[in-house]
């Protein structure tokens, strides 16, 4: 019998895996709810009081949680709430988006500590990666100056850039970052920083940020429609970020939409890049972002014209994801200029009839989430923390999350 053949099986677990998962469960409970006592944690997680006490002591020894003042009053014994320690862990995030990069450092709570932004050489990853590494170094030094022990608590580096991944690159397609797709980006930045490095698409990164510190915090089923240079969907399914088999889940920008008798990919007509083309700017530098924000605030008629069509397309997208995924809510977020994103959100209403229209809803069908140009970088930085500390199914198993 050939024992070297490929055998299809799921990974098993052991006591160590169970304990690690339970640690993550306690961390998430405190992150979502705020400071909690051991008794409250035991009730909420269905773990024994002794198990919770042992885990809290372990987390406290690792500098991840800390006790607050004893709470007295009411019936029962005084209780001691435990909170997360912001300085317990840090991570770095990098957004790469055609012609610019944003680098950010966040703490254990996903809050920004340091940042940098720079334009990139158009389509040149070899030189662009050098620019990125230079600014990562600057951010790390700023982080170390602000929090001296942070260098020993860096969990990793997250990268976010537009997908889809793994397709045959085409140098003629302006929507595909062909050279960046074929460049060994993860390996280059991992070697250059000495940090464990991961890659996700920008829509997924924005959903990661939304789940940690945004509208999706505490929601187990949500679809985040990402509005940036391109368009994507970040999927939060069953309380976890879903990325698909090739990290391409949610590439809704490639779906063909019909409008006015013509058929084209969604993002070719309704993304920030399409607006830049409509305005004749043809670039995505920091200056272009500022110009679009100015035109939006001035209610430029070209902006109004574009919004009319984009709003119709996004209403169709909401209908689509509600029908396919049955989320608790759909969230518009992204890295486009905030004033433009707010106008687009208004243009998406009222949403089309769908299965999401049901009695007893407590959450709006469509919500406005993070519309910060830094949202993708923040989500990229949150990913290493998510992988290290969130209660992921893969964390229970003997496999990497």
**Among 6-15, 270-279, 344-353, which stretch is predicted with the lowest mean pLDDT?**
6-15
State which H helix or E strand residue 145 sits in.
Answer: helix 125-146
Range 357-376 average pLDDT: 92
Same domain, 193 and 214: no
Same domain, 150 and 76: no
CB count within 10 Å of CB 279 equals 16
pLDDT at 246: 85
CATH number for the domain including 382? 3.30.420.40
Same domain, 249 and 349: yes
Same domain, 147 and 54: no
10 assigned to some structural domain: no
Range 39-55 average pLDDT: 91
CATH number for the domain including 42? 1.10.10.10
Same domain, 212 and 175: no
Rounded to an integer, what distance in angstroms lies between the CA atom of residue 314 and that of residue 347?
A: 9
Concatenated DSSP letters of 339-358: HHHHHHHHHT-SPPP-TT--
37 assigned to some structural domain: yes
Same domain, 288 and 341: yes
Q: Of residues 148 and 143, which shows the higher confidence score?
A: 143
Same domain, 238 and 369: yes
What are the pLDDT digits (tens) for 298-318?
A: 999 999 999 999 999 999 999
Same domain, 323 and 255: yes
State which H helix or E strand residue 232 sits in.
Answer: strand 231-237
- Does the structure show a pLDDT above 90 at 282? no
400 assigned to some structural domain: no
Quote the number of domains for the chain: 3
- Report whether 118 contacts 104 (CB < 8 A): no
pLDDT at 70: 80
Same domain, 385 and 333: no
363 assigned to some structural domain: yes
Q: Of residues 67 and 284, which shows the higher confidence score?
A: 67
In 35-122, which residue ranges form alpha helices assigned H by DSSP?
38-45, 49-61
Range 143-168 average pLDDT: 89
Range 325-347 average pLDDT: 96
32, 64, 84 - which closes a domain: 84
1 assigned to some structural domain: no
The β-bridge relationship of strands 100-107 and 262-265 is unpaired
pLDDT at 218: 85
Same domain, 111 and 149: yes
Same domain, 197 and 287: no
pLDDT at 174: 60
- Report whether 98 contacts 84 (CB < 8 A): no
- Report whether 89 contacts 379 (CB < 8 A): no
Domain span holding position 389: 89-201+377-393
What are the pLDDT digits (tens) for 82-137?
A: 999 999 999 999 999 878 899 999 999 999 999 999 988 876 899 999 999 999 99
326 assigned to some structural domain: yes
Report pTM.
0.86
Same domain, 255 and 381: no
The β-bridge relationship of strands 222-227 and 197-201 is unpaired
- Does the structure show a pLDDT above 60 at 12? no
5 assigned to some structural domain: no
């Amino acid at each position: 019998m050939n024992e070297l053949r490929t055998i299809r099986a799921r990974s098993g677990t052991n006591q160590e895996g169970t304990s690690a998962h339970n640690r993550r469960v306690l961390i998430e409970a405190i992150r979502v709810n705020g400071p909690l006592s051991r008794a409250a944690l035991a009730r909420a997680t269905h773990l024994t009081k002794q198990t919770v006490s042992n885990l809290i002591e372990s987390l406290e020894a690792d500098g991840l949680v800390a006790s607050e003042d004893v709470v007295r009053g009411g019936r029962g014994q005084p209780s001691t709430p435990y909170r997360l320690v912001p300085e317990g862990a840090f991570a770095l995030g990098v957004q790469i988006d055609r012609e610019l990069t944003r680098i950010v450092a966040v703490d254990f709570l996903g809050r920004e500590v340091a940042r940098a932004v720079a334009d990139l050489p158009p389509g040149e990853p070899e030189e662009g990666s050098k620019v990125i590494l230079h600014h990562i170094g600057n951010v790390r030094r700023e982080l170390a100056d602000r929090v001296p022990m942070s260098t020993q608590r860096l969990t990793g580096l997250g990268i976010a850039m537009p997908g889809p991944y793994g397709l045959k690159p085409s140098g003629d397609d302006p929507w595909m970052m062909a050279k960046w797709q074929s460049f060994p980006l993860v390996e280059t930045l991992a070697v250059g920083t000495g940090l464990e490095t991961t890659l996700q698409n920008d829509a997924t990164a924005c959903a990661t940020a939304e789940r940690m510190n945004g509208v999706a915090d505490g929601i187990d089923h949500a679809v985040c429609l990402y509005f940036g240079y391109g368009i994507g969907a970040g999927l939060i399914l069953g309380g976890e970020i879903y990325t698909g088999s090739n990290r391409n889940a949610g590439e809704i920008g490639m779906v063909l939409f019909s409008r006015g008798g013509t058929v084209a990919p969604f993002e070719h007509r309704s993304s920030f890049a399409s607006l830049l083309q409509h305005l004749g700017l043809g670039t995505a530098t920091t200056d272009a972002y500022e110009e679009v924000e100015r035109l939006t605030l001035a209610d430029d008629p070209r902006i109004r014209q574009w919004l009319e069509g984009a709003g119709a397309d996004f209403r169709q997208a909401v209908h689509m994801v509600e029908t396919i995924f049955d989320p608790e809510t759909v969230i518009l977020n992204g890295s486009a200029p905030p004033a433009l994103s707010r106008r687009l959100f208004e243009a998406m209403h009222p949403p089309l009839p769908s299965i999401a229209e049901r009695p007893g809803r407590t959450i709006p069908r469509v919500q406005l989430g993070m519309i910060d140009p830094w949202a993708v970088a923040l989500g990229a930085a949150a990913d290493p923390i998510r992988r290290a500390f969130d209660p992921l199914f893969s964390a229970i198993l003997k496999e990497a999350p």
